[in-house]
């Protein structure tokens, strides 16, 4: 069975050490992270650092306020290819909004 380590990851005193420890747990294949509370540029850099440290055993899923613009930026500038879009997709459950998010994730 595979497992995603959820946002508890953000509470670790040292996220890179946490990545190293989680890599020793074969069932953990994903970590969901928002990359911090700063602006998107800082979060992008941190998420990219996590992704490089976690590869190839673990995939980082970018979450925490991810919208279509953030997806496009992360896909252009990092190794992040998986996204959690809770809040961005819940705004009234608008089909066109969800389609916009899917298109952003599918574009190269």
Asked if residues 97 and 66 have their Cβ atoms less than 8 Å apart, the reply is: no
Rounded to the nearest 5°, which phi and psi values hold at 18? -60, -40
The SS3 call for residue 76 is helix
Task: Kindly state the helix (H) or strand (E) to which residue 50 belongs, with its residue range.
Answer: helix 40-54
Domains of the chain with CATH codes: 3-106 (3.20.20.380)
The SS3 call for residue 10 is helix
- pTM value? 0.84
Q: What is the pLDDT of residues 35-79, one digit of tens each?
A: 998 999 999 999 999 999 999 999 999 998 888 889 999 999 999
**Percentage of residues of the chain with pLDDT beyond 70:** 91
Q: Which distant-in-sequence residues (6+ apart) come within 8 Å of 81 by Cβ?
A: 59, 75
19: buried, middle or exposed (CB in 10 Å: 19+, 13-18, 0-12)? buried
């Amino acid at each position: 069975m595979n497992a995603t380590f959820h946002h508890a990851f953000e509470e670790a005193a040292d996220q890179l050490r946490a990545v190293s420890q989680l890599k020793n747990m074969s069932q953990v294949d994903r970590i969901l992270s928002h990359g911090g509370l700063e602006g998107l540029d800082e979060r992008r850099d941190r998420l990219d650092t996590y992704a490089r440290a976690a590869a190839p055993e673990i995939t980082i899923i970018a979450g925490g306020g991810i919208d279509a613009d953030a997806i496009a930026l992360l896909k252009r500038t990092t190794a992040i290819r998986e996204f959690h879009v809770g809040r961005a997709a819940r705004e009234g459950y608008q089909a066109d909004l969800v389609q916009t998010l899917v298109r952003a994730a599918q574009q190269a």
